[in-house]
Amino acid sequence: MKKVKIILNGFEESIPEGLSIQDLIQRSGEGDPNLIVEHNGRFVYPNQYDKIILDHGDRIELINPSFGG
């Protein structure tokens, strides 16, 4: 299986080619319903997670917002 290298939360990761953002979220074990995702510095709406296929050099940030005070 061919791999691509991305930057996930500031760290280089090697992932299978053809993965979507949704696939990446599932693989990472993220369960926060309020998860915020940035793809190459741009906010991604949850309804787009399965439509964006990751490519070599993409930068992904998975952000868990902290609510409360």
Three-class SS state of 18: coil
pLDDT by residue for the chain (69 residues), tens digit each?
A: 899 999 999 999 999 999 999 999 999 998 888 999 999 999 999 999 999 999 999 999 999 887 665
Domains of the chain: 3-63 (3.10.20.30)
Q: What is the pTM of this model?
A: 0.89
| pLDDT of 67 | 65
pLDDT of res. 5: 98
